[in-house]
Amino acid sequence: MASGLETEFVTLHEIVKAARTHLNPNIWDYLIGGTETETTLRRNRLALDSIAFKPRVLRDVSKIDPSSEIFGRRIRLPVMLAPVGSLESFEPGGGITVARGADAANVPMLISSVTTLKLEDIVKGGAAPKIYQLYVRGDDAWVADRVRQAMDAGYDAFCITVDTQVYSRRERDIAKRFVKSWRTAAVGQDHQAAFSWSNLAALREKFPDVKFLLKGIGTAEDAEIACQHGMWAVYCSNHGGRQLDHGRGSAQVLPEVIEAVAGRAKVIVDGSFSRGSDIVKAIAMGADWVGLGRLYCYGLAAAGAAGIERVIELLEEEMKEAMGLLGVTSLQQLDKSYVAASTPTNLPGVHSAFPLLNLDDKGY
């Protein structure tokens, strides 16, 4: 299946620009912004730009396969659409549109609990693999009920976000006096603040067959504890630079997380992954999948489900190019020997991966 947008969008930066024209300034700033000084946001990009490739030559790369596997199913790329709150603010169909885009592109999606849609309805949007992501807004019985609902609805795994125990100050929104409707309607933040390893242990005991993952792991120490609690996957993330300011970039944290996990769980990473080459770097470092957040939302805002599919098509082209020039034909051939630390050349920012992008005089 093809998106039908092959001539309208020939580069990723054109999709970003189209999204900017379709979104009102408040929603645009909500999408691209980070916390306070936005240092963590920029460090996400800086960490990726500090990794260089080490190519090998004179190898047969006439056939390149960038596909991966999840839940026993072959998927187009080693990526998943990360959970993003209030998808309806980018496109009226919200989570259902994203499900259709994920299905057309054959990539998995994580659906955020911050949505106006019932989790059962989102499943109807397509057959792509789906993971339900939860912000804890109730006691242990409430959380257990959400797990049951998700599993009964056909979700493949259950994700708990663990880096939002305190809600951050996102000053792009605050300075504009933009109060997000989904925030004013939210209650129960105190339950997220109180959620601990002991709550997780009890949940794991109650649902021994459920594939659980924790999103928001930022240290080897917590990756180790997650594995001790039998997590199916450890999701290395700093919430796209939208929670703790002055944190490390995800690509900088990834090696220590992978070392700590030591094959006991799957590893997912996100944080400013914007190009096919970024994905190749993560796989070479040892990640299983890469989460895409802002990037697929640009596609959603630009052209709905087809826009998401077009993002994946372009990433596939970029991945094949990078893999071929590295001298590999499959993801299994990638390892740490293909990457090395290097000096970044670009001033990092939310859109620094798109040097041809010029949205306004601030480069936003």
Q: Considering 22, 191, 229, 239, which one is annotated as catalytic? A: 239
Asked if 94 and 304 touch (Cβ cutoff 8 Å), the reply is no
Instruction: Please state whether the predicted TM-score (pTM) of the whole model is above 0.85.
Output: yes
Contacts of 170 by beta carbon, 8 Å cutoff, 6+ apart? 30, 33, 34, 35, 242
The pLDDT value recorded for residue 96 is 95
- Sequence spans of domains, the chain: 12-325
% the chain with pLDDT above 70: 97
Residue 344 has which token pair? 């970044």
User: pLDDT tens digits, residue range 183-202?
Assistant: 665 678 899 999 999 999 99
The DSSP element (H or E) to which 227 belongs, if any, is helix 220-228
Asked if 321 and 309 touch (Cβ cutoff 8 Å), the reply is no
**359: amino acid identity, one letter:** L
Known catalytic membership, residue 239: yes
The model's confidence at residue 363, banded by pLDDT at 50, 70 and 90, is: very low
Write the CATH number of the domain with boundaries 12-325.
3.20.20.70
User: pLDDT tens digits, residue range 307-332?
Assistant: 999 999 999 999 999 999 999 999 99
Query: Is the confidence at residue 26, as pLDDT, over 60?
Result: yes
